[in-house]
Amino acid sequence: MHGAAQRIGRAATVALYEELALYPKPGLVSFIDRGSHADMDATTFMRSLFALRRYFPQAAALGAQQAGFDALERLGIDAERRMLCATSGINTHRGAVFTLGLLCASAGAVLAQGGPCSPAALRAALRHGWGAALQARCARPRSSAGQRVTRQHGLRGAGEEAALGLPVLFDVAVPALRRALARGLAVRAARLEALFHVIAVLDDTNLAHRGGLPGLRYAQRAAANFLAAGGAAQADASAQAEAIHREFVARRLSPGGAADVLAAACWVQRVCAD
């Protein structure tokens, strides 16, 4: 199982790199620019990725051992500490530590039981292994910015998404990515298409934290309009996406939650293709 855990974990690191490398994407950090962020750039993200490289295989190994949520949470907290140390306190991948950590654990559980990885199998393993604990976690009093925003605006945060089996990932992002690839779009364009599908529907607490509920709804409308006009298949899709990127930067909006979901979709596509 050690080799399988390493492959699962490496796929997570690669997926986070693929999200970082995508451009143009609204308000988000890339190798081209900082997006809406004054405190981080691509170098910050690369330091974070290096700090997290051992975490994802460890999460997969815990999943294979049927470890409880407490063990996964402790591992994630330690990974977050290493991330913050590497980035001088800047939160680059907290959401990915949570979501991709759970997914790696789910993949470990699936493979340990002899099953092939598929989106349905991953989702079932997540719910069966840690669904109840995730529901209980949602009931804890918490004081993070994301939790305050979800309470204030009645949104569904990352914890609630995970407790429900990651519906935006499995019902929106992964199908959108696969449809785009099946239509013959290049990989970069397919990822862009999937990202806009996620922005259009996700209760992204990063957007709500920066722009309030009006900022979140503006971002969702912008993404929906891009898709309605043809999405990444438009002849001028890159120019249209870059224009939206500039608007997000002007409004200081950054769909970090959607970026995490895109990275997770890239990971699912890679792991389920092996």
Contact 134, 87 (CB under 8 A): no
Of 6-20, 47-61, 137-151, which range is least confident? 137-151
Helix axes 237-250, 205-228, angle to 10 degrees: 150
Asked if the model's pLDDT at residue 165 lies above 60, the reply is: yes
Question: What pLDDT is attached to residue 140?
Answer: 75
For 43-67, what is the mean pLDDT?
Answer: 97
CA distance 244 to 246: 5
For 59-82, what is the mean pLDDT?
Answer: 98
pTM of the model: 0.95
| pLDDT digit string, tens, across residues 169-220 | 999 999 999 999 999 999 999 999 999 999 999 999 999 999 999 999 999 9
Per DSSP, the residues of 70-110 read: HHHHHHHHHHHHHHHHHTTT--SSHHHHHHHHHHHHHHHHH
Residues, the chain: 274
Confidence of residue 154 (pLDDT cuts 50, 70, 90): confident
Helix axes 119-138, 69-86, angle to 10 degrees: 90
Which tops the pLDDT comparison, 51 or 273? 51
Of 30-44, 144-158, 223-237, which range is least confident? 144-158
CA distance 272 to 274: 6
Question: What pLDDT is attached to residue 2?
Answer: 73
Residue with tokens 């891009």: 226
Which tops the pLDDT comparison, 12 or 145? 12
Contact 194, 180 (CB under 8 A): yes
> Phi then psi for 89, rounded to 5 degrees?
90, 5
Question: What pLDDT is attached to residue 85?
Answer: 97
For 220-236, what is the mean pLDDT?
Answer: 98
Asked if the model's pLDDT at residue 1 lies above 70, the reply is: no
Question: What pLDDT is attached to residue 139?
Answer: 80
For 238-265, what is the mean pLDDT?
Answer: 98
> Phi then psi for 108, rounded to 5 degrees?
-60, -40
Asked if the model's pLDDT at residue 145 lies above 70, the reply is: no
For 90-94, what is the mean pLDDT?
Answer: 95
Question: What pLDDT is attached to residue 153?
Answer: 75
Question: What pLDDT is attached to residue 143?
Answer: 59
For 217-242, what is the mean pLDDT?
Answer: 98
For 127-156, what is the mean pLDDT?
Answer: 81
Mean pLDDT for the chain overall: 95
CB atoms within 10 A of CB 136: 11
Could you tell me which of 229, 213, 210, 222 has the C-alpha nearest to residue 246? 222
Question: What pLDDT is attached to residue 274?
Answer: 53
